[in-house]
Structure 1
Amino acid sequence: MNDLSSPAEAKTRRAFITPQRIGVSLLFLMNGFMIGAWAPKIPEFAARLELSEKSLGVMILIFGLGSIVMMPIAGSQIARFGSSIVSKVTAVLLTPTLLLLSLIGSVWSGAVALFLFGGLIGAMDVAMNANAVATEKGMRRAIMSSCHAFWSLGGLLGASTGGFLLERIGVLPHALFVTVVAAVMIAVAWKMVLQDAPHPEERAAGAGRRLPSSPLPWLLGIMALFCMIPEGSILDWGALYMRNELSASLTLSGFAFAAFSFTMAAMRFAGDLIRDRFGAVNTLRVCGVIAMLGMLTIGFATSSTLAIAGFALAGIGISNIVPILFSAAGNLPGMAAGVSLSVVTTMGYSGILVAPSAIGFIAEHTGLGSIFAGLSVLILVTLLLSSLARHADGAHH
C-alpha cells in the first residue's frame, strides 16, 4: 500500500521525539514520583495516626480500593472528553494530596485522604495510558514502554529523595517540595500533551455505564493480571524470601528488588525499539519465556547470587509485557480506548494490590520459593494468549 501522506506527516511519524511524547512522558514521571514520595512517608503516617500493623494494612487496602473504584470512572470520562483533559484534571487534583496526607490528624480523615490519593493515582494512570496510545497512533511508532520506564524513574526519584528529605527537613517541608516539583512537571507538560478529542462512536461507547461485552479487554486484563501478580510478589516478598529462605544479608536482600527494578527500567527504555523492530507478539513471547525462566530461577535458587540473577531475569521478562498489553487495549477495534484500558488497568493493578496478601497466607504452608516457581504458570497462560498482543501494532502500523 502506498503512503499518500504529506512529507510533513511522514516527517512527524519518523520523528523519534515530539512535544506530545515529552508531554505524556512527564505525566508518567509525575505520577510515579508521587507514589515514590509516598512510600518513605508510610512509617511516619502510621506513627502519627497510631496505627497498628493490621490497621496500616487496612489503610493500604483503602488506597488500592480508591484506585480500583476510580479507574473505570476515568475510562468513561475519557470516552466523553478525551484523554488529555482527564489526564490534566486528575494530575492537578493529585498534586496537593501528599500535602493533605501530611496534615490530617485522625484515622477517618486519613482513610478518606488515602482513598482520594489512590483513586486519583489510578484515574490518572488510565488517562495517561490512553494518551500514550493516542500519541503512538499519531507518531506511528511504539512509545508505551518508555512511558512506563519514566513512571519507574519517577518512583525511583520520589523514593530515593523522600527518605533523605524527611530526615533532613521534616514532614511538611518534604510534602511542599513534592507538591512544587509535581506542579512544575504538570506546568511544563501542559501545552505539550496531545490534545485528543473522542470520536462520536467513542463518546457513544463511553456514555453508557455498561462494561464491554467483547471478551477481548477481559482476556487482555487476565494477561495483565497474571503478569502483575509476579511483579507485586517480588516487590512485597522478594527481600523476605532472600532473608528467611536463602539466609542472605540485609544488603543482599535489598538487591532482590533492586536487580528486578534496574533491569525492568532499562528494558522499558529499550522496549519500544525492540517492539517496532520485531512486532508486539514476538516481543511479548520472548519476554514471557525470559520471565518464566526468571521466576523458576528464583524459586529453585540454592544461593542468594543465583536468586538475584533470577530477579534480574524476571525484570527483563516482565518489563515490556504490560506496556504491550496496554497498547493492545487502547487499539481494540470498535471500542473506546479509555473504556477498554480501564478494564485492563483495573484488572492488572488488582494483581499488585490484592495478590501479595494471599501469597502471605499460602507461604505459611508452602514457603516462598515454591510460590515464586509456581507463579511462572501464570506467565505461561499469558504466553498461550500472546496472539492477542497483535492489536498493539495497530497503534503504528
Structure 2
Amino acid sequence: MFLVAGAAIGTWTARIPAIMHGLDLSDGQLSLALVVLAAGGLIGMGGSGRLVDRLGSRRVLIPAMLTVGGGLVGPAYAPNLTALLGALLAFGICHGVLNVAMNANAVEVQRAYQRPIMTFCHAFFSIGGVAGAAAGAAFAHADRSAAATFLTVGTASTVLAVVAIRWALATAAPKRTGEQRHTSDALSAGRPFPRGRVMLLGLLAFCSLINEGAAADWGSMYLHDTLGSSSATAAAAYALFALTMTIGRLTGDRILARLGPVRLLRASSLLAALGFGSGLLANHPAAALAGFAVLGAGLACVVPQVYSAAGNIDEKHAGRGLSYVAALGYLGFVGGPALIGGLANLLDLARAMLFLPALMLIIGSLARVVGQRQSAGTQPLAADAKYSRPGVHRDRRADRTRRHAISAASAR
C-alpha cells in the first residue's frame, strides 16, 4: 500500500514538465495547479480521519487504493487548465485519504504484531517514490507521452492494489471479550480528545517534512548556485538524501527495538542537526553532499514514529489523530520550500538553509511526546512498549498497574 502511494507521487513529479509543456502552461498556472493538488491532499487527509474511526481503516483504505491509480491518469488527459485543476484536486483527495487510511491500518497491524513495523512501511513509500520517478524518467527518455506513463503506472498500481487489499487488516485491534470491551469503554468514557498532544505531534511532523521538502526542492540549487558545483554534483544531493533515508527506514525498526521511540527521535534529530549543519557551515560541495546524506538518515525514523504515536493516542480516534498530524506534516512539506525561498530572498540561500538544522533541534527537544503512554484500558502499543530484539518486552510494572485499573473498574 505504501509502495503504491509513493509510486503515484513519484510518477506525477517526474512528468510535471511534460504536463506543463503539453498544455503550454505558464509558471504561474503551474504553481496554481500544484497549489490545487496540495489543497486536495489536505482535504483528503482532513476529511478521512472521522471516516476511519467510524468505518474502520480497511473500509476506507480499499476504495482509496483502487481509485488512486485512476486519479493519477486523469491529469494526463486534461485538455485545458480548468480540467487539469479538477483532475489534480481529485487525485490529491484520493491520495490524502489513502495516506491516512494506510497509516491507520499500519498502526493496527503493528499493534497486533506486537513489534515495530511502521518505519519499514514508510521505507516502501520512499522506494515507491524512487520507482515512480524512475519510471517517469524512463518514459520521458523514450519520448513517450505523460498519458502513456500515467496509464501504465496507474494500471500497475490498481492491479497491485487488488492483490494487496486481500491482506488488509480488517479489525482495529485484536478481538476482545465483551467484558474487556465494556471495561475499556468504562475507562475511556468522558475522556476528552487530546488535542494538545496531537498538535505537538503535528508540530514534529511539520518540522520534519519542511526538511524533506526543502531538501528535495533546494538541495540541488544550493550546491549549484551557492557552492558553484557542477549540475551532476548538484543532482547528487537529493539522490544521497533519498538513499540514506530509505536505508534508515529499512533498518529503523531494529534501532527502535533497542532505543525506544523517544531516544531514537532525540538521537536522530541530533544526528541530522549536527551533520547537516556542519555540512552547510563547511561551505564546500563534498561537505554539503555528506550533510544531505546525514540529514536523510536523521529524518528517516521521525515521521514513522510520529504517525505511530498519533495512531496510538486514542484507539477509538486513531484516524482523527492521524488526519490532524498528517495534514500538519503535509503543510510543512508543501510550504517548506516556499519558506526557505522567502528566507533566501531576505538573507541568502546559505543562511536560509541553516533554518533546517534548527528545526531538527526542535524535534529533539519535543521528542518526549512520542513516548507518552496511552490511557488505561487499551492494548499495549508501539509508542508505549519496550522492545527487545526477539520480540516485545513489556514494562511489567506498567502491565500490573493496567491490570489493577481494569480490575478496579470492573468491580465498580
- Count of paired positions: 364
**Distance (whole Å) between structure 2 residues aligned to residue 184 and residue 93 of structure 1:** 11
- Asked whether the equivalents of residues 71 and 94 of structure 2 are also in contact (C-alpha less than 8 Å), the reply is no
Aligned residue number for residue 368 of structure 1:
349
Find 1:66's aligned residue among 20, 40, 46.
40
Helix, strand or coil at the partner of 1:307:
helix
Distance 1:215 1:162, change over 3 A: same
Which amino acid is the alignment partner of residue 284 of structure 1?
A: L
Q: Deviations over 1:77-111 (max 9, x none)?
A: 00011111111111112111222111110111110
Deviates more, 1:359-368 or 1:145-154: 359-368
**Distance (whole Å) between structure 1 residues aligned to residue 55 and residue 37 of structure 2:** 26
**Distance (whole Å) between structure 2 residues aligned to residue 370 and residue 147 of structure 1:** 34
**Distance (whole Å) between structure 1 residues aligned to residue 172 and residue 295 of structure 2:** 38
Deviation of 1:212 after TM superposition, in Å, equals 4.6
Find 1:295's aligned residue among 252, 266, 276.
276
- Within a 5 Å distance, the mapping from 1:3-152 to structure 2 comes to 27-152=1-126
Aligned residue number for residue 192 of structure 1:
167
Percent of residue pairs identical: 32
Deviation of 1:388 after TM superposition, in Å, equals 1.1
Which amino acid is the alignment partner of residue 366 of structure 2?
A: L
- Within a 5 Å distance, the mapping from 1:244-323 to structure 2 comes to 244-323=225-304
Helix, strand or coil at the partner of 2:15:
helix
Q: Deviations over 1:286-317 (max 9, x none)?
A: 10101111331242132100000000010111
**Distance (whole Å) between structure 2 residues aligned to residue 119 and residue 187 of structure 1:** 20
Does the alignment pair 1:393 with 2:393?
no
Q: Deviations over 1:308-351 (max 9, x none)?
A: 00000101111101101110001114651100000110001110
Deviation of 1:56 after TM superposition, in Å, equals 0.6
Distance 1:114 1:386, change over 3 A: same
Which amino acid is the alignment partner of residue 322 of structure 2?
A: L
Find 1:325's aligned residue among 306, 320, 325.
306
Aligned residue number for residue 340 of structure 1:
321
Deviation of 1:162 after TM superposition, in Å, equals 1.1
Q: Deviations over 1:162-205 (max 9, x none)?
A: 121244243333222112210121122121111125899999xx
**Distance (whole Å) between structure 2 residues aligned to residue 334 and residue 163 of structure 1:** 42
Q: Give the root-mean-square deviation of aligned CA atoms.
A: 2.0
Deviation of 1:49 after TM superposition, in Å, equals 2.0
Which amino acid is the alignment partner of residue 331 of structure 1?
A: N
**Distance (whole Å) between structure 1 residues aligned to residue 331 and residue 264 of structure 2:** 24
Distance 1:287 1:114, change over 3 A: same
Deviation of 1:230 after TM superposition, in Å, equals 1.3
Find 1:239's aligned residue among 189, 211, 220.
220
Q: Deviations over 1:124-171 (max 9, x none)?
A: 001100111000000001111111100000011110111212442433
Provide TM-score, normalisation by structure 2: 0.84
Provide TM-score, normalisation by structure 1: 0.87
Find 2:152's aligned residue among 158, 162, 177.
177
**Distance (whole Å) between structure 1 residues aligned to residue 193 and residue 75 of structure 2:** 35
- Asked whether the equivalents of residues 153 and 265 of structure 1 are also in contact (C-alpha less than 8 Å), the reply is yes
Distance 1:133 1:240, change over 3 A: same
**Distance (whole Å) between structure 2 residues aligned to residue 358 and residue 341 of structure 1:** 24
- Asked whether the equivalents of residues 245 and 296 of structure 2 are also in contact (C-alpha less than 8 Å), the reply is yes
**Distance (whole Å) between structure 2 residues aligned to residue 394 and residue 82 of structure 1:** 22
Q: What residue ranges of structure 1 are gaps of 5+ in the alignment?
A: 1-26, 204-210
Q: Which runs of 4+ in 1 moved over 6 A?
A: 198-203
Deviation of 1:213 after TM superposition, in Å, equals 5.3
- Asked whether the equivalents of residues 299 and 371 of structure 1 are also in contact (C-alpha less than 8 Å), the reply is no
Distance 1:69 1:165, change over 3 A: same
Aligned residue number for residue 217 of structure 1:
198
**Distance (whole Å) between structure 2 residues aligned to residue 333 and residue 88 of structure 1:** 23
